Chain A
Amino acid sequence: DTGVSQDPRHKITKRGQNVTFRCDPISEHNRLYWYRQTLGQGPEFLTYFQNEAQLEKSRLLSDRFSAERPKGSFSTLEIQRTEQGDSAMYLCASSFRQPMNTEAFFGQGTRLTVV
């Protein structure tokens, strides 16, 4: 296992278009997190899953954002009707909870630019 994998690494889209990002966590990890990071800021929590259940969503996750983890393995994050303010690095992380959380490993992120 090579760690958390995110695809694509970079995405340039026109304002108003929809985009979808994929995250493949470390295989045995049951927790999966999405964060957003803008330049000069720390990662901001968006949402997380335990297995296929979405347990928490941040206020940052507007109704244009939706995340899924249909089989408790990979996850997708979709942004509809993108806006320039959505330009950021979208980070995925995974960990194992049994019963406490283990270390969270991050992927390299998907950098979104909305033009």
Chain B
Amino acid sequence: QQQVKQSPQSLIVQKGGISIINCAYENTAFDYFPWYQQFPGKGPALLIAIRPDVSEKKEGRFTISFNKSAKQFSLHIMDSQPGDSATYFCAANNNQAGTALIFGKGTTLSVSS
């Protein structure tokens, strides 16, 4: 059972455009929703994270939108740059209970210049 479903699998965006990646989760006990960025040959690095008591969190060009009733959350990258080209993973866990992060399958983003 895949607990975190991510889409699309790949995305091509022009420089300056908006990149949008979506995730849906099933476990209502999840209370922590991070996005990780991974470059080839590197480990994933935390980009931004949200908890379900807020509907949106913004850090620079990166925004998470969270819809608790729909059990969905998304990553928006504004003014996408070639340096944003990477694989992005959504994840979720029950942070209060201390469970491990469950990851989506990833989205490969290519930003064309």
Contacts and interface: CB of A to CB of B under 8 A. Distances in A.
A and B held together in a complex = yes
Interface of A: 4, 31, 33, 35, 40-45, 48, 50, 55-56, 91, 93, 97, 100-101, 103-109
A10 to B, nearest CB: 10
B89 A43 contact: yes
Contacts of A33: 100-101
A42 B89 contact: yes
B100 A106 contact: no
Nearest to A44: B103
Given A4-B43, A35-B103, 10 more contacts: A42-B91, A42-B104, A48-B100, A55-B98, A101-B95, A104-B46, A106-B36, A108-B42, A108-B43, A109-B42
Contact of B106 (A31, A42, A105): A42
Nearest to A103: B46
A103 B42 contact: no
By CB atoms of chain A within 10 A, which of B6, B36, B44 has the most?
Answer: B44
Interface of B: 6, 32, 34, 36, 41-46, 49, 89, 91, 93, 95-96, 98-106
A50 B100 CA distance: 11
Given A101-B95, A103-B49, A45 B102 contact: yes
Contacts of B6: 42
Nearest to B44: A106
Nearest to A45: B100
B96 to A, nearest CB: 7
A42 B42 contact: no
Nearest to B104: A42
B43 A109 contact: yes
A41 B43 contact: no
Contacts of B89: 42-43
Given A4-B43, A43-B44, A43-B89, A104 B95 contact: no
Nearest to B45: A106
B44 A91 contact: yes
A94 B45 CA distance: 12
Nearest to A48: B100
